[in-house]
Structure 1
Amino acid sequence: MYHSSPFMNLPGISPEEFGYLQSSTAGLDEQELKNFLMVYASKRKNPDDMILFAVLGFFVPGLPRFLLGQIGMGILYFVTLGLCFIGTIIDLVNYKTLTFEYNQKMVFESLQLIRMGNMKF
């Protein structure tokens, strides 16, 4: 089932994210799932891309935080040079966790949009 799932088309998907998506979308019919995937794919961050942004955080402090919607932390990192680069190093180590937490929020937002019927395709 893991190989035939439409979630496998998402770049850089981890088994943890795959399981979360499977459980979150269990009650959706085929059209709702298709709409969900369209919305979610546009909001989702790829963990493989986020490691690159975490490395770039040494040159543009706070970049990964801004991209993950954590504007306050991004400003703090920018002003303090990534909390003297300690925060930037922590972001580099925890990039998968940060990305997964962001993507969990995007799953929730995407499901809300689909369930509210605001999607007009």
Structure 2
Amino acid sequence: MRVKFAKKGDALIAKIEGELDHHVAESIKSVIDEEYEKKLCKNLIFDFKNVNFMDSSGIGVIIGRYKKIKENNGKVAIVNANKQLHKIIEVSGLLRIIKCYNDIEEALKEI
């Protein structure tokens, strides 16, 4: 599991690679929180283009970041989720609070 970061405007883009599960959830949370604070961003975009698996711990990572970002009046978006990940996101109820977009550019226009 790796996370690469980019900043576009007031959004931090977290490009996650590999599996987002209970083995890496705590370290992913820490790395994203640290980068978010360091880059002084308002919004967060999770790029799941290279994520091949996510369990409930991954949902926890997303919800935790959502709460933190919302406290700063920011928004969270998810982009490039494959069909399997999108189904997990849908079943978990995340779509009620976080939108999924086809790509980063679309998300940047909307958030």
Smaller-chain TM-score bracket: under 0.3
Question: Which TM-score applies when normalising by structure 2?
Answer: 0.24
Higher strand share: 2
- Which is helix-richer, 1 or 2? 1
With normalisation by structure 1, the TM-score equals 0.23
Larger Cα-atom Rg: 1
